[in-house]
Amino acid sequence: MIFSSLIFMFVFLPAVLILYYLVPRKYKNLCLFLFSLVFYAWGEPVYVFLMLSTIAFDYLAGHLITKYRENTVKARTVLVISICINLLLLGYFKYSGLLVDTFNSFTGLAVPVPDVVLPIGISFYTFESLSYMIDIYRGEAPAQRNIIDFGTYISFFPHLVAGPIVRYEDLAAQLQNRTETFEKFTIGGKRFMVGLFKKLLLANNLAILADKVQYMGNPSTLTAWLGALAFTFQIYFDFSGYSDMAIGLANMFGFNIPENFNYPYISRSVSEFWRRWHITLGTWFREYVYIPLGGNRCSKIKNVRNLAIVWVLTGVWHGASWNFAMWGAYYAVLIICEKLFLQKWLDKIPVFFRWLYSFLLSVIGWVFFSYLDIHKAFGVVAAMFGFANGTDNLGIYSLITYAPLLIVAAFCSSTLFEKLTEKLRKSGTVGKVIWSAGFACLFIVSLTFLVNNTYNPFLYFRF
Amino acid sequence: MNLNKLKENIKKCEIEYLVVTAILFLTVLVGILFLIFAPKQDFSEDENRVLESTPKITVQGIEDGSFMKSIENYVGDHFMFRKNFVTLNTSVQLLCGKRDLGSNYSHTPAEGGVYFGDKNHIYEVLLPNKTDVFSRNVEAITRFAEEIKIPFYFMPVPSGAQEQQENLPFSAPSHNQREEFDAIKSKEKGNIKVIDLFDTLNIKTGNDYYYKTDHHWNTYGAYEGYKALVEQMNISPAPKEDFEFKPIKEPFYGTLYSKAVYDKQEPDTVYLPYYKKQAVVTQQTGKKKWEGLFWKEYFTKKDKYSSFLGGNHSVDVVKNEDVKNNKKLLIIKDSYANSMIPFLATDFSEIHIIDLRYYNQNIYEYVKDNKITDAAAVYSIKQLCDVSVANKLRIR
């Protein structure tokens, strides 16, 4: 189930909210846990058992780690085994197809490619499980005694399928002890709606342009730029919209979960971009990979190695296709360069060029991210830099029909939009009325897009 | 929580957040009440499909996910003010500068949607061919023609978007169907003649031969098609004046309209050509037989184009007893041919109309058994690209 759907908004959400607020305190987590399982089972019922066994296994592992606290060797063994098992599951379900495929193409053999459907959210909840065990091992949080509470942490539906990746340490206390207030609830309601707008009004519409450019192939320079920009904004509003909805929903149940995006496209360096983009993933890799490897408190060579490992892993985490590894490697190179010398140069040039540098690099990065076929991605980047016709019909047409949306998207991804609307909202009664009315209008328009998705003229009608 | 505490609690809220959250959940509440209590529609004429009925819960349904799918469809299909929302959505998108709607490029095969063109015209978005459906269809049709060894006329019909490019939005990309036509033309040899309608149907002739809201040619376009076809056969076509073009009174909103419902759209009128001189034409479909070729029950339905022959059937046989030339024409076709039949019926004693999409018999035997003298393929180029009929023409 996705948040931006009629079934979620008009059936699932009201049901879970009503029950959650009706049941007594000690059943509230159980209520969330059960609804989360329904939420998860909605698309792929079988995998709910996979997730339940992961939960049971990690719960047990957490206990063993606590039990062997005094005995470092034993505790470490349990930790390593359970990390391996979690990663093997992730590897099997997510990467086996890619690995077998690649093996076949290198060796010329025809090992049958395993036909596994990726369980939704497995990349997210595996990372959350890992963070649980590592936090316990490090003594940063106590093991969860109650398996329902632990299950709620892993399966909590707001962050289950697309993050934010919540570290156990951040949620442990809230699982036992949180207060639901009207204030939090309304902040959550507003936040959810903002996410809905981002997803339905901006991301989904930009996706059409990005998809169209990919479908048509061999873009002119203008078309290549428009397609790349459309994807750049699409993925930001899609992902950050989803995070907004997740954070808002968590608020409605009295939880506070961490922020995931902080205006990534205003960054003035690539390193800064990654401190503003998918923050919880960056934090996870920093806490559980980069720092354990030695981080930057080691020799320069090791530091470079650590950065390379983290960024390639970050790339591969995004999907089982080599273009994602390539995209990760691209960032590894950029960030290493910035660490070694580039940042010093950047500091000397005007702010505008620093911004332009990091924005352009992220746009090019998204080309490698969005084209599964690496050759095509290079073709598009070449077209962007003049190795193609300047314009074509598609380019001019897309420029005319998408200019308003692209401008709005650019405006909304700067801090300016937020500043202006907040100013309006705090400027007295008239401002408040205008703000609320505008918000309500956007909500209605979003609904029209949701309903429009259900409108499917029967294909054979065309005959 | 007592009342005072609640008040206190509400006071802490930002009032605007409270307002918008209230709007969200009031909408949800109304939506739920509507879903539960409002009377349900079974069929959507605009979409030409049955709407989801109340989902039934079964273990099997939960296991394979069909139960979940059917709840989702149910909520969508019976959502409050559904049509108003869809119409409003079209207006909003047009207002934001979009000129094409209803596309889906991540789907295979891709769906291009429709362009909102000048003069209140909606057009299909023609996309470059990315499958081998077209080449396999053409291959199969020409092989069929060679095999049956009687005069064969291949008439590919271009789309409205191809023939009225000046009405498309500025700089709108549109695939050139000449490419497909040329591929078909290259197959012309022996008993196969390929008929070129690109100039005939073009808007540059000063006439509009297509519906504004439907993907078909209109009755005048069909007449031009008829004329071109029989001229190739060395038959002099019945002049236009011999027909009375009677309008169906109710407005016609076609398939393109259904793809992007818009409240400011002007409707079309369907004209039915009645032959002034003719006595009786009969249409036989399966075991039933009718007099005349126009089906009145469609005059009041949404799908008025189906007034011609009652839409598509696997086989229709049209007989005209006034014509004594003993010419028997076989047409393999899509729905474009339907509106051409009333004209063709004036020249042939029998017309056998086969829609391969629904036909599962051996067509080679059909040709022999019915002593067919001439054959034609009447297909819109778009249909040839989109829907495979090749396997129905296999030699068995």
B335 contacts in chain A (CB < 8 Å): 463
Asked if this assembly's ipTM is beyond 0.85, the reply is: yes
Q: Is B136 on the interface with A (CB under 8 A)?
A: no
CA dihedral over B157, B162, B166, B168, signed as positive or negative: positive
DSSP letter for each residue of A42-58 = TT-TTHHHHHHHHHHHH
Let me know if A348 is exposed, middle or buried by CB neighbors in 10 A (0-12, 13-18, 19+).
exposed
Measured between CB atoms, does A193 come within 8 Å of chain B?
yes
Decide if A405 and B32 are in contact by the 8 Å CB cutoff. no
Q: Is B171 within 8 Å of A393 when comparing Cβ atoms?
A: yes
Domain membership flag for residue B118: no
Residues A173 and A149: beta-carbon distance below 8 Å: no
Number of residues assigned to chain B = 396
| Residue B63 sits at the chain A interface (C-beta within 8 Å) | yes
Please provide the average confidence, as pLDDT, over all residues in chain A.
89
A397 close to B (CB below 8 A): yes
Q: Confirm whether B84 is domain-assigned.
A: no
Residues of B in contact with A389 (CB under 8 A): none
A58/A61 Cα distance (integer angstroms): 5
Q: Taking each helix axis from N to C terminus, what angle separates A300-317 and A322-337, rounded to the nearest 10 degrees?
A: 150
- What amino acid occupies position A10? F
- Would you say residue B362 lies in a domain? yes
Token pair 């598609």 in the structure block, residue: A394
At A33, list the tokens.
């846990």
Helix pair A415-425, A393-412: axis angle to 10 deg: 50
In this predicted structure, what is the pLDDT of residue A106? Answer: 83
Instruction: State the Cα–Cα distance between residues B157 and B163, nearest whole angstrom.
Output: 10
Question: Domain for residue B119, yes or no?
Answer: no
Q: Residue type for A199, please?
A: K
Tell me whether B26 touches chain A (CB under 8 Å): no
Show the domain range for B226.
124-393
> Mind listing the pLDDT tens digit for each residue in A148-178?
989 999 889 998 888 788 888 888 888 888 8
> Is the model's pLDDT at A435 over the cut of 60?
yes
Task: List A461's β-bridge partners, or say none.
Answer: none
Distance, in Å, from the CA atom of A103 to the CA atom of A114, rounded to the nearest integer, reads 13
pLDDT at A460: 45
Nearest-CA distance from B13 to chain A in Å? 5
Which of A63, A159, A278, A318 is catalytic? The answer is A318
Q: How far apart are the first and last CA of chain B?
A: 80
How many structural domains is chain B composed of? Answer: 1
- pLDDT category at A455 given cuts 50, 70, 90 is low
Q: Which residues of A touch B71 (CB under 8 A)?
A: 7, 11
- Written as six digits, the tokens of B21 are 């959250």
**Could you give the CA distance from residue A223 to residue A395 in angstroms, rounded to a whole number?**
4
Provide, rounded to the nearest whole percent, the portion of chain A with pLDDT above 90.
48
Is residue A93 very low, low, confident or very high in pLDDT (cuts 50, 70, 90)? confident
Strand B152-157 relative to strand B192-194, pairing? parallel
Whether A318 is a known active-site residue: answer yes
Q: How confident is the model at residue A342 (pLDDT cuts 50, 70, 90)?
A: confident
List the one residue out of A143, A166, A190, A195 whose CA is nearest residue A255: A166
Chain A hits for B49, Cβ within 8 Å: 456-458, 461
Residue A106 identity: F
Closest CA to A114 of A89, A91, A87, A92: A92
* Cα–Cα distance list, A433 to A186, A436, A446, B26, B286 (Å): 17, 5, 20, 18, 66
Instruction: Check: CB of residue A282 under 8 Å from CB of residue A275.
Output: yes
3-state SS string for chain B: CCHHHHHHHHHHCCHHHHHHHHHHHHHHHHHHHHHHHCCCCCEECCCCEECCCCCCCCHHHHHCCHHHHHHHHHHHHCCCCHHHHHHHHHHHHHHCCCCEECCECCCCCCECCEEECCCCCEEECCCCCCCCHHHHHHHHHHHHHHHHCCCEEEEEECCHHHHCHHHCCCCCCCCCCHHHHHHHHCCCCCCEEECCCCCCCCHHHCCCCECCCCCCECHHHHHHHHHHHHHHCCCCCCCHHHEEEEECCCCECCHHHHHCCCCCCCCECCEEEEECCCCCEEEEECCEEEECCECHHHCCCCCHHHHECCCCCCEEEEEECCCCCCCEEEEEECHHHHHHHHHHCCCCCEEEEECCCCCCCCHHHHHHHCCCCEEEEEEEHHHHHHCCCHHHHCCC
Inter-helix orientation angle A204-216/A393-412, to 10°: 150
| CB of B78 closer than 8 Å to CB of B38 | yes
Q: Do B76 and A453 touch (CB under 8 A)?
A: yes
Structure tokens at A156: 């909590």
Residues B305 and B299: their CA atoms lie apart, in Å, by: 9
Mean pLDDT of A255-266: 94
A322 touches chain B (CB under 8 A): no
Lowest-pLDDT range of A187-196, A433-442, A447-456, B163-172? A447-456
Residue B133, domain member (yes or no) = yes
Please give chain B's pLDDT, 396 residues, in tens.
Answer: 456 777 777 777 888 898 999 999 999 999 999 988 888 888 877 777 778 888 888 888 887 878 888 888 888 888 888 888 889 999 999 999 899 998 888 887 788 899 999 999 999 999 998 889 999 999 999 999 998 989 999 999 999 999 999 999 999 999 999 999 999 999 999 899 999 999 999 999 999 999 999 999 999 999 999 999 999 999 999 999 999 999 999 999 998 998 888 888 999 999 999 988 866 788 888 888 888 889 999 999 888 999 999 989 999 999 888 888 888 999 999 999 999 999 999 999 999 999 998 988 889 999 999 999 999 999 999 999 988 888 888 876
Say whether residue A352 is in contact with chain B using an 8 A CB cutoff.
no
Average pLDDT over residues A445-455: 85
Tokens 């011609």 found at: B308
Q: How far is A56 from chain B (nearest CA, A)?
A: 22
> How high is the pLDDT of residue A459?
44
**CA separation for the pair B275, B239 (Å, rounded):** 10
Nearest residue to A50 via CA among A133, A120, A144, A145: A120
Question: Which residues are CB-neighbours of B16 under 8 A, at least 6 positions away?
Answer: A190, A425, A432, A435, A436, A439
Is residue A22 less than 8 Å (CB to CB) from chain B? no
| C-alpha gyration radius of chain B | 26
Any A CB within 8 A of B10 CB: yes
| Contact call for B89 and A452, based on CB within 8 A | yes
Report chain B residues whose CB lies below 8 A from the CB of A192: 24
In a domain, B176, yes or no: yes
- Residue A462 is predicted with a pLDDT of 40
Residue with tokens 């002049």: B239
Q: How many CB atoms lie within 10 A of CB A139?
A: 10
The Cβ-side half-sphere exposure at B368, using a 13 Å CA radius, reads: 6
As to burial, measured by CB atoms within 10 angstroms (0-12 exposed, 13-18 middle, 19+ buried), residue B51 is: middle
Residue A461 has a pLDDT of 42
Pairwise CA distance, residues A264 & A268, whole Å: 9
Chain A residue with the nearest C-alpha to that of B60: A45
Q: pLDDT digit string (tens) for A350-390?
A: 989 999 999 999 999 999 999 988 899 999 999 999 888 88
CA distance B53 to chain A (A): 15
Q: How far apart are CA B352 and CA B26, in angstroms?
A: 59
User: Alpha helices, DSSP H only, in A156-220?
Assistant: 157-160, 168-176, 182-197, 204-216
- Which residues does chain B have within 8 Å of residue A10's beta carbon, measured at their own beta carbons? 28, 31-32, 35, 75, 79
Position A456 confidence tier, pLDDT thresholds 50, 70, 90 = low
CB A215 within 8 A of CB A384: no
Write down the pLDDT at residue B369. Answer: 92
**Among the listed residues A11, A6, A56, A60, the one whose alpha carbon sits nearest the alpha carbon of residue A33:** A56
Could you tell me if A161 and A252 are in contact, meaning their C-beta atoms sit under 8 angstroms apart?
Answer: no
Contact A13 B28 (CB under 8 A): yes
d(CA A231, CA A367): 8
Q: Which of A66-80, A248-262, A431-445, B313-327 has the lowest mean pLDDT?
A: A66-80
Q: pLDDT tens, A194-245?
A: 999 999 999 999 999 999 999 998 899 999 999 999 999 999 999 999 999 9
Q: Does residue B58 sit at the A interface (CB-CB below 8 Å)?
A: no
Give the C-alpha separation, B340 to B330, whole Å: 13
Domains of chain A, residue spans: 6-177, 184-412, 415-462
A190–B17 C-beta distance less than 8 A:
yes
Would you tell me which residues 266-285 of chain B have a C-beta closer than 8 angstroms to some C-beta of chain A?
none
Radius of gyration of chain A from its Cα atoms, rounded to whole angstroms: 23
